[in-house]
């Protein structure tokens, strides 16, 4: 089924993307990238249940579950979830199909988390605010909501330029286009295959600032507990190009 924006019922992560997602994002599946995130999330879960918003193919959920954390996921893409199900242990993770900004699941959680810039897949401020409210509604008192997302790279844009390349090599070209008036951006991926054919993928996003996320958390009744440059908990500074932020639902 196609939507009015040209996407299918899986959004922008349908079968054509899901089929090669793990390979195209191979660097993000490196244990050196995954394990520090899982360390932090397992600690914050503190023996309770964890809810992953945008669970995808299970890059984080599967190793977190292997740590003994009960994980449930929400994802719009059945194709991505099918890839999760096909992996060892994937059939033991509960997944609800739906928009993670508004979809509710049963029970409460000690931890909700949203990683790898996925908050930007919500392309309006209203949807991002809804996501924070949805996360807070799932959390038990004292529970935490964690977001990993990049800092908008507007400092790299000279006057008149709207594009920032993020990957240029022999087989792939990737660049982001920014509209600073609307905080909209789009990520463009060109892949050249060994047989000389190529493919093109464009995905829309809405970039968001750390202070804006803090306000969204406040509207949802949460408060900032920690912000780091990355999963190694290094300090977040004015030079940071990404952040991992933790908001807490008050226990009282």
* Helical spans, DSSP H, in the chain: 15-18, 21-24, 31-45, 61-66, 78-85, 125-138, 210-219
Q: Does position 5 have pLDDT exceeding 50, yes or no?
A: no
Report the pLDDT value the prediction gives residue 4, as an integer from 0 to 100: 31
CATH number for the domain formed by residue range(s) 15-152+208-248: 3.40.50.150
Domain ranges of the chain: 15-152+208-248, 154-203
Q: Which CATH architecture has domain 154-203?
A: Single Sheet (2.20)
Strand ranges of the sheet holding 163-168, from the earlier edge strand across to the other edge: 163-168, 172-179, 184-192, 198-206
Choice among 62-71, 83-92, 182-191, 234-243 with the minimum mean pLDDT? 182-191
Q: Give the model's confidence band at 22: pLDDT under 50 very low, under 70 low, under 90 confident, else very high.
A: low
Distance from chain centroid for Cα 246: 14
> What pLDDT was estimated at residue 6?
37
Higher pLDDT, 13 or 31: 31
pLDDT for 19: 80
C-alpha closest to that of 246 among 112, 147, 180, 105: 147
What per-residue confidence (pLDDT) applies to 10? 64
In 3D space, the residue among 102, 48, 46, 40 whose CA is nearest the CA of residue 72 turns out to be 48
Which of the four pLDDT bands, split at 50, 70 and 90, describes residue 44? very high
pLDDT at position 3: 34
pLDDT in tens, 114-156: 999 999 999 999 999 999 999 999 999 999 999 999 999 898 8
Which one is predicted more confidently, 207 or 28? 207
DSSP 8-state assignment for residue 133: H
Higher pLDDT, 197 or 216: 216
Q: Let me know: does 210 contact 151? Beta carbons within 8 Å.
A: yes
Mean pLDDT of the chain: 92
Backbone φ, ψ for residue 240 (5° rounding): -65, 140
């Amino acid at each position: 089924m196609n939507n009015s924006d040209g996407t299918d019922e899986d959004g922008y992560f349908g079968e054509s993307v899901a089929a090669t997602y793990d390979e195209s994002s191979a660097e993000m599946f490196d244990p050196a990238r995954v394990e520090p995130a899982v360390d932090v999330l397992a600690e914050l879960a503190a023996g309770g249940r964890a809810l992953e918003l945008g669970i995808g193919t299970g890059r984080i959920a599967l190793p977190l579950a292997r740590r003994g954390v009960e994980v449930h996921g929400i994802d719009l893409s059945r194709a991505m979830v099918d890839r999760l199900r096909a992996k060892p242990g994937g059939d033991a993770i509960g997944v609800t199909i739906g928009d993670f900004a508004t979809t509710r699941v049963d029970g409460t959680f000690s931890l909700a988390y949203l990683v790898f810039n996925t908050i930007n897949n919500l392309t309006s401020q209203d949807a991002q605010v809804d996501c924070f409210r949805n996360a807070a509604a799932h959390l038990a008192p004292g529970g935490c909501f964690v977001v990993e997302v990049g800092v908008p790279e507007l400092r790299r844009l000279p006057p008149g330029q709207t594009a920032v390349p993020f990957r240029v090599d022999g087989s792939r070209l990737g660049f982001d286009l920014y509209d600073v008036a609307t905080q909209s951006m789009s990520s463009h991926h060109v892949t050249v295959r060994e047989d000389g054919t190529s493919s093109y993928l464009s995905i829309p996003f809405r970039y968001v600032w750390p202070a804006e996320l803090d306000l969204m958390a406040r509207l949802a009744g949460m408060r900032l507990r920690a912000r780091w440059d990355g999963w190694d908990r290094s300090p977040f500074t004015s030079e940071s190009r990404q952040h991992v932020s933790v908001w807490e639902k008050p226990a009282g």
